[in-house]
Amino acid sequence: MRGHIAHGLASVLLVVSLGAAQGPTSSGSKDAQSAKPSNSIPNPKAGFQAKTNHHQPYQVGTASWYGEYFEGKATASGEPYNMYDLTAAHPTLPLGSWVRVTNLRNHRVVYVRINDRGPIIPGRIIDLSYGAAHVLRFQEQGLQRVRIDLAQPKEARLQQVAELQPVAY
C-alpha cells in the first residue's frame, strides 16, 4: 500500500515540476509581459545589485515619452526634468536605477536612469525623456513597443559615453 502511495506522489510531483519548468506558452501573453525575471529587484539601500539577463526581459510593453511641458519641473527624485537627458519614469523601479530599453521595431537601444514615477496612463510600462525617445527613433509616433532590461550603472555610463562621442564628418 505504501509503495502505491509513494509511486502516486512521485508521479504527481513529476507532472507538477514539468509543468512549472515549461513557463508560459506564448511570449505575447499578458503574464509573460508583466513577469519579472528571477533576478533580484535592486534594493535602493544596498545599491544596484541586479544582474542583466539578456534572455529574459524585465518587462515588455508600450513606452511613451514626455517632453517640453514638464521641462524644468521637479521629478520624483527631486532633480529638475531635462527633456534631453537620457532618463525615464517607471512605477516601481528604485530611483537611480539604470535600465536598457530596446525599441522592438528597429532594435535601437538606449540606457536610461530612472529619476521619476510614472507612467500614469494604464497599459504603459515606462515614460522616456524626449532625448531617449529620439535615440530610439520613436519621438514622432509617441508610443512604441519596447523591452526593458535591468542594467548595471557602469555598463550604462560606458554606453552613454560612447554615444556622446563626436562623429567625424
DSSP 2-50: HHHHHHHHHHHHHHHHHHHHH--S-TTSHHHHHPPPSSPPPBTTTB--P
Q: Is the pLDDT of residue 71 over 70?
A: yes
Q: How confident is the model at residue 56 (pLDDT cuts 50, 70, 90)?
A: confident
> HSE-up of 45 (CA within 13 Å, CB side)?
0
Q: Give the per-residue pLDDT at 156.
A: 66
pTM higher than the cut 0.85: no
Q: What whole-number percentage of the chain has pLDDT above 70?
A: 59
Q: Is the pLDDT of residue 11 over 60?
A: no
Q: Give the per-residue pLDDT at 63.
A: 97
φ, ψ for residue 57, nearest 5 deg: -70, 155
Average pLDDT for residues 102-130, to the nearest whole number? 96
Which of 14-28, 46-60, 66-80, 102-116 has the weakest average pLDDT? Answer: 14-28
- Tell me how far apart the alpha carbons of residues 146 and 108 are, in angstroms, rounded to a whole number: 10
- Residue 58: CB atoms within 10 Å: 22
Taking CA atoms, 8 is separated from 1, 2, 14, 20, in Å, by 11, 10, 10, 19
Q: Is the pLDDT of residue 106 over 80?
A: yes
- Coil/strand/helix, residue 81: coil
Q: Give the per-residue pLDDT at 24.
A: 35
Average pLDDT for residues 47-73, to the nearest whole number? 78
Q: Is the pLDDT of residue 76 over 90?
A: yes
Q: How far apart are the first and last CA of the chain?
A: 83
